[in-house]
């Protein structure tokens, strides 16, 4: 699965614009009075201004070249405070064959840069935000992970990549994963509990037909993958 665009709500639109453009150095592809869209590699990240939602907090991950996690940490720590796990910003996921670094954006969202060593995407370029490859995860708290997965599988033909369908499920593949967790479970590696906020995703999937999948306050617009 490929996540083409992730649309999130914010009540700190100005601060988010400043963080992503001036701090991280990411280009905007669309700007209006009520929203801003950033180019994240082959994906787009859109924040929509919504003052009616109190402190929306999301989790999402961005793929980076699989050999550049150390360079990413060095680059990122000069720009913002990193979230540490066991006294280190480097987080190892041996079961996923991946390493990550986490940080908060200006809206309090938990962002992650992840190097997935199973992917053939190594780079020798100096690390900057231009090395962000694509949005590869979006966290989706749901009351019933099993029901969410069954509905998503039936509609979009996405498979369980990792998890137990009770307390955690990563659905899709390493290019694009929906991370389903119960509400109030802390987002790793923080003490911030997961909560349900509106999310819209535009994606490409392996199913042959275009589909719109709606669940809770989540909406996924999906179309067949084009090579």
Q: What is the pTM of this model?
A: 0.96
* Residue range 14-46, pLDDT digits in tens: 999 999 999 999 999 888 889 999 999 999 999
Q: Whole-number mean pLDDT of the chain?
A: 95
* Residue range 99-116, pLDDT digits in tens: 999 999 999 999 999 999
Give the pLDDT score at 208: 61
Q: Which residues contact 14 (CB under 8 A, 6 or more apart)?
A: none
| CATH topology (fold) of 2-224 | 2,3-Dihydroxybiphenyl 1,2-Dioxygenase; domain 1 (3.10.180)
Whether the predicted pLDDT of 195 surpasses 90: yes
Give the pLDDT score at 227: 58
- List the domain boundaries for the chain: 2-224
Which residues in the chain belong to E strands, given as ranges?
Answer: 2-10, 28-31, 35-40, 43-49, 59-64, 82-83, 91-93, 98-104, 110-116, 134-141, 160-163, 169-173, 176-181, 199-205, 211-215, 218-224
């Amino acid at each position: 699965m490929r996540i083409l665009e992730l649309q999130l709500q914010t009540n700190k639109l100005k601060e988010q614009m400043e963080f992503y453009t001036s701090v991280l150095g990411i280009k905007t592809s669309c700007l209006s009075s009520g929203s801003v869209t950033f180019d994240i590699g082959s994906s787009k990240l859109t924040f929509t201004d919504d003052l009616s939602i109190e402190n929306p907090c999301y989790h999402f991950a961005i793929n980076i070249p699989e050999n550049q996690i150390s360079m990413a940490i060095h680059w990122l720590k000069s720009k913002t405070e990193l979230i540490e796990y066991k006294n280190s910003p480097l987080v190892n996921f041996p079961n996923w064959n991946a390493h990550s670094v986490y940080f908060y954006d200006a809206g309090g969202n938990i962002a992650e840069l992840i190097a997935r060593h199973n992917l053939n995407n190594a780079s020798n370029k100096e690390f900057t935000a231009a090395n962000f490859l694509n949005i590869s995860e979006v966290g989706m708290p749901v009351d019933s992970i099993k029901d969410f997965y069954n509905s998503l599988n039936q509609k979009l033909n996405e498979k369980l990549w990792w998890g137990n369908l009770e307390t955690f499920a990563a659905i899709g593949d390493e290019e694009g994963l929906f991370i389903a967790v119960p509400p109030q479970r802390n987002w790793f590696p923080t003490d911030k509990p997961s909560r349900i906020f509106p999310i819209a995703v535009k994606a490409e999937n392996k199913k042959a037909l275009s589909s719109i999948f709606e669940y809770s306050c989540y909406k996924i617009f999906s179309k067949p993958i084009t090579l």
